[in-house]
Amino acid sequence: MATGRRITRDDIMDMESYAKLRAEERARINALKQDRRLEVGPFATFYFENFDTMRHQIHEMLFVERGGEAQLADELNAYNPLVPQGRELVATLMFEIEDAARRDRELRRLGFVERTVTLAIDGEEVKAVAEGDVERTKPDGARTSSVHFLHFPLTDAQAARFKTPGAKVVLAINHENYGHAATMPERVRAALAGDLA
């Protein structure tokens, strides 16, 4: 993994080459993601992104949509902001509810949930900062998206503590209608420590 490096055109395979390696690449990324996810409460999952996960996402978008070079610039612009830059963790928060009616009902109760997410490192809280690409909650708060992109900017001291084996890390959603927290398993903390320069 390349901490703090942006994905460029040179990092992207042509689709013929990618097609030959796709099954192997998908298996590798799925294995990588096992130690980069954390469930918080009954239906929220955080997927922590890095250079490799975002490079894979770009390959998948290009492979599925077949937009070629014309599409590539858009994908780089969309996914590069989700590559951690050495002093942050970046996560995709997904509210995973299969039943459409229940999903709609729950998302209507979670307006501005993105403003309530925290990461505590040995008790010191870091407030999540939502990616500013698109407003994920309607202006009146009446409904939020099932997908949010969040940054956790860390100070040097917080990053050092996070990287310390055995550090207690708690990820929480403190919304009035979804108050849940989860302690990060050591295997996840160790994997994410590699995102920090």
Rounded distance, CA 53 to CA 197, Å?
18
The pLDDT of residue 1 is above 50: no
Q: What is the pLDDT of residues 13-64, one digit of tens each?
A: 999 999 999 999 999 999 999 999 999 999 999 999 999 999 999 999 999 9
79 touches 53 (CB < 8 A) = no
Q: What is the pLDDT of residues 61-110, one digit of tens each?
A: 999 988 788 899 999 998 999 999 989 999 999 999 999 999 999 999 99
Alpha helix locations (H) across the chain? Answer: 15-34, 51-65, 68-79, 100-108, 156-163, 186-193
pTM of the model: 0.91
Rounded distance, CA 93 to CA 137, Å?
13
Q: Is 187 helix (H, G, I), strand (E, B) or coil?
A: helix
Q: What letter does residue 196 receive in the DSSP assignment? A: B
Q: For 111-116, what is the mean pLDDT?
A: 94
